[in-house]
Amino acid sequence: MSKLPEKLFVYDTETGGVDVENDRILTCYAMIQNQDGSIEREWHWTIDPGVAEGFEVAKGASDVHGMSTEWIAEHGRKDARQAIHEIYGILGNAQIKGVPIVAYNQRFDLSILHHELRRHGFEHGVMELVDRAKFYDATIHEKHRNKYVKGAGQRTLKNTCLRYGIEFDDEKAHAAEYDVIKTAELSWFFLRKEKLTIDELQPLLPKWKEEQDKSLQAFFTKDGRKNDDGTPVVIDRGWPLITKKGN
């Protein structure tokens, strides 16, 4: 019997900023992919969180993914509450079927979805999903198996793919669909090399992430890393959901 899962549920969001509590989901792409690389099913969402009510896409975010406030107003669904609930429903269906839920730097995507749900009246956010689902994140897995990668920015999706011989097209990057496809390719690569099963990884991934966070925080503290306002840098903690927000 193969130690690999039969399929993965892989998703990614593009957002109006990087503050998981206050910024908004603009697009989401999700797919169920089989071991052989075939896509069993896929979903797309483009959401207007409320441009008419004053929402604006942060310039830094727009510079990354190319979506402006005006573009979102023109192309985004106006029923943001329904769209957010649909995204959560699709993740929930994956959990019910026992399909591992995968994203690159997953705690960002899951945490912003959690706060979107709460904003729209779903009091418990993603907590039920967190309690029941199988999660996987190649960000954590790769950093645990390859601790000493030197150079700033070497843990990005692009550079991690290139490090293991996976092609990456800069012009397609930061579109949710392309990032999902590359995340899936990278995830299958690591899972095939791993001796442990996805079930055996479940208690280890949060532990590894906590170790990685502590190490990074210690480095920032020793280095005297500061925010623009002069306060010490404090990183987010928790996985797969941010449970302690830094700055």
The predicted-structure confidence for 72-105, as pLDDT tens digits, reads as follows: 999 999 999 999 999 999 999 999 999 999 999 9
**What pLDDT is stored for residue 1 in this prediction?**
43
pLDDT digits over 136-164, tens only?
999 999 999 999 898 888 999 999 999 99
Summarize the confidence of residues 190-219 as an average pLDDT: 96
Mean pLDDT for all residues in the chain: 95
Per-residue pLDDT, 30 = 98
- Per-residue pLDDT band for 2 (boundaries 50, 70, 90) equals low
Distances (CA, A) of 169 to 61, 104, 153, 174, 185: 19, 17, 17, 10, 14
* Residue 231 DSSP SS3: coil
Token pair for residue 137?
């994140």
Q: Which two tokens stand for residue 123?
A: 């009091």
State the Cα–Cα distance between residues 236 and 8, nearest whole angstrom: 26
Give pLDDT tens digits for 215-231. Answer: 999 999 999 999 999 99
Quick one: pLDDT at residue 193?
95
Whole-model pTM: value is 0.94
Residue 174 has pLDDT above 60, yes or no: yes
For residues 22 and 43, is the Cβ–Cβ distance under 8 A?
A: no
Phi and psi torsions of 55, nearest 5°: -65, 140
Section 200-207 average pLDDT: 98
Rounded to an integer, what distance in angstroms lies between the CA atom of residue 80 and that of residue 82? 5
The closest alpha carbon to 57, from 81, 45, 74, belongs to 74
- Tell which wins on pLDDT, 119 or 60: 119
Residue 60, H or E segment: helix 59-65
Instruction: Give the model's pLDDT for residue 246.
Output: 78
When pLDDT is cut at 50, 70 and 90, the band that residue 3 belongs to is confident
- Band (184; pLDDT cuts 50, 70, 90): very high
